[in-house]
Amino acid sequence: MILSICYYLSILLFSLSGASMYWSFSFFFFSKTSFIEFEILSFMSSSLIFLILLDWMSLMFMGVVFFISSMVLIYSVNYMSGDKMINKFIYMIFLFVASMALMILSPNMISILLGWDGLGLVSYCLVIYYQNVKSYNSGMLTILSNRLGDIAILLSISWMVNYGSFNFYYLQYSDYNFTIILILVILAAMTKSAQIPFSAWLPAAMAAPTPVSSLVHSSTLVTAGVYLLIRFHNLLEYNLYLFIISVLTLFMSGLGANYEVDLKKIIALSTLSQLGMMMLILSLGQYEIAFFHLVSHAMFKSLLFLCAGYYIHNNMNWQDIRSVGSLSMNSPIITFYFFVSSFSLCGFPFLTGFYSKDLIIEFFFMSQMNTFMFIMLFISTLLTLIYSTRLIYYLFMNYSSISSMSFLSEDSEMYYPMFFLFVFSIIVGSLFSWLYFPTFFILLSPLWKTVILISLSLSFLLFFTLNTTDKIKSIITTPSIYFMSLMWNLPTISTSYFIKSLGLGSIYLKLLDQGWFEYMGSQGIYSSASSYSYFIDKSNLLNLKSFLLMFFYFLIILFILMYLNSLILKHSVEVTKMVLNF
């Protein structure tokens, strides 16, 4: 039953993906933008309206999300086949896709918050899916980091009340100063896209199943912050602070990936590196190129995660790259897919990543550059090449005795989704360049070409030196290198130093929420209302004694009224006589 539901949802999402991409091209070609209003509730002169924005960017991104979701659902049928709760897993994936679609199609900040919060909640449920201590800790770090972004969105909504509208389209064509709203939106985007200092949750979230990592942590959840800033690009324009943060994130993640040994965490850090690249070009005001890299990165990174999940699944859930090797001998097709996605990540010519990543770097080269930031960006780009080469070396060229115990076999149910993603990882970049962006040519000077070639040669020499020389291996265990490899101690800072604040929260909960506020508030009101309602309930008990008592009270009241009436009549007669005598 669950398999039929899974296939039905995947076919539905695949069909919606094709239709969405076709409409995206149509909207772009005819320069159309449509708003669809649904009146949910109307009372007196007020109405509650749900607004949907359809333009080429939202339709294209939604088509990409639906396409990758359909591939992940088919992939999950075999990957999660031994799981007893696979139905819960499939439903959570579908809820996640629905939340992402709500965020993509909403021009209203309140409905964006619904999708934004839905992404955070469902991603937390997916991270703790395996229900162990590691998953719980990773889930808490994930949801608390993302919760800061939710607070920023709530504050931006409350501040937008000053301007009379919750639609960000209204903000783009207004003359007011929206600096506070822009700061809050950037903060929310930084938490969702794991920019410094909120980067620790993304590698920790790899505790989730690999299909979740392929969908959630490569193409949807982490890119939600980038997409939100793309929607606010008119307010963003050129932003120096976001540029510095993005370059630092790019450098830190690339450096950490070169010392990581967990397969999924290496790919997660490469995702963080590419998110820094998207934020970098966004800070320079080129939101179209950022969207281009967002779409192309979603294709090859989801393929990279699915290939890694295949190796993990067939190696008895072993993820340490030092203990596996020679994987290409038993799975040549999956290995070929892994090579193509890694080359696309590095920007190999005429693959998808080449068209968007090189465009970002070349645009930065043509602008007025700060020398230090240029060196940081250049080194970070080389680090991407080094950790990709390192990963390929350990997985396919390194021999390990443990790897001989693994039995890899090609699986058709895992093969077909990866085949479709493989095709899109090759053609999406060129299709985007032909259909959505004008053709142009950037010619770098011979000096730059010489510097790039020398740097590539030195980076490969450094890589093989670090991985073959025992003396160098002993050097890289120094505290400074240890500090660099652990993401500049961000996991420690994000967890250890905030435990005391959580302890203060428990004290506040015990003394106030469950103490005086409870006694003087809801519980006190409830106990008082209960005691008063006892008398009301007692008066509602209709029996013979009650009727006799009521009749007795009625007679007493009647006699009192008659007596008072007689007194009033007697008094009035006396007053009348006195008036007549007078």
Whole-number percent of the chain with pLDDT over 90: 4
Q: pLDDT tens across 147-192, in order? A: 888 889 999 888 888 777 777 766 665 666 678 888 888 999 999 8
pLDDT, mean of residues 62-75? 90
**Two tokens at 18?**
């094709």
Tell me the pTM.
Answer: 0.82
Q: Would you tell me how many other CB atoms lie within 10 Å of the CB of residue 548?
A: 10
Nearest CA to 340 out of 424, 218, 215 is that of 424
State in Å, rounded, how far the first CA of the chain is from the last one: 105
pLDDT given at position 41: 77
**Two tokens at 264?**
């999924």
pLDDT, mean of residues 60-71? 91
3-class SS of residue 191: helix
- Mean per-residue pLDDT of the chain: 79
Q: pLDDT tens across 188-222, in order? A: 999 988 888 888 888 888 888 888 888 887 778 88
pLDDT, mean of residues 83-107? 86
Looking at per-residue pLDDT, the higher value among 462 and 287 belongs to: 287
Q: pLDDT tens across 562-581, in order? A: 888 888 877 777 767 776 67
Please check the confidence at residue 304 and state whether its pLDDT lies above 70.
yes
Please check the confidence at residue 1 and state whether its pLDDT lies above 70.
no
Residues 105 and 231: their CA atoms lie apart, in Å, by 11
* Residue pair 189/229 in contact by the 8 Å Cβ criterion: yes
Dihedral angle sign, alpha carbons of residues 255, 261, 267, 272:
negative
Q: How confident is the model at residue 526 (pLDDT cuts 50, 70, 90)?
A: confident
**Two tokens at 468?**
């073959």
pLDDT, mean of residues 12-37? 88
Whole-number percent of the chain with pLDDT over 70: 82
Please check the confidence at residue 452 and state whether its pLDDT lies above 60.
yes
Q: pLDDT tens across 467-509, in order? A: 544 444 444 455 666 666 677 777 777 777 666 677 777 777 7
The DSSP element (H or E) to which 353 belongs, if any, is helix 352-366
Please check the confidence at residue 439 and state whether its pLDDT lies above 60.
no
Residues 108 and 36: their CA atoms lie apart, in Å, by 12
CB within 8 A of 311, min separation 6: which ones?
Answer: 263, 324, 327, 331, 334, 395, 408
Looking at per-residue pLDDT, the higher value among 443 and 104 belongs to: 104
Helices (H) and strands (E) in the chain, counts: 26, 2
pLDDT given at position 479: 64
CA angle 103, 363, 344 (to 5 degrees): 65
Q: How confident is the model at residue 333 (pLDDT cuts 50, 70, 90)?
A: confident
DSSP 81-103: TT-TTHHHHHHHHHHHHHHHHHH
Please check the confidence at residue 109 and state whether its pLDDT lies above 70.
yes
pLDDT given at position 67: 92
**Two tokens at 13?**
């999402």
Q: pLDDT tens across 412-425, in order? A: 677 888 888 899 88
Q: Would you tell me how many other CB atoms lie within 10 Å of the CB of residue 388?
A: 22
The DSSP output letter for 403 is: G
Q: pLDDT tens across 127-152, in order? A: 888 888 888 888 888 888 888 888 89
Please check the confidence at residue 404 and state whether its pLDDT lies above 50.
no
Looking at per-residue pLDDT, the higher value among 232 and 442 belongs to: 232
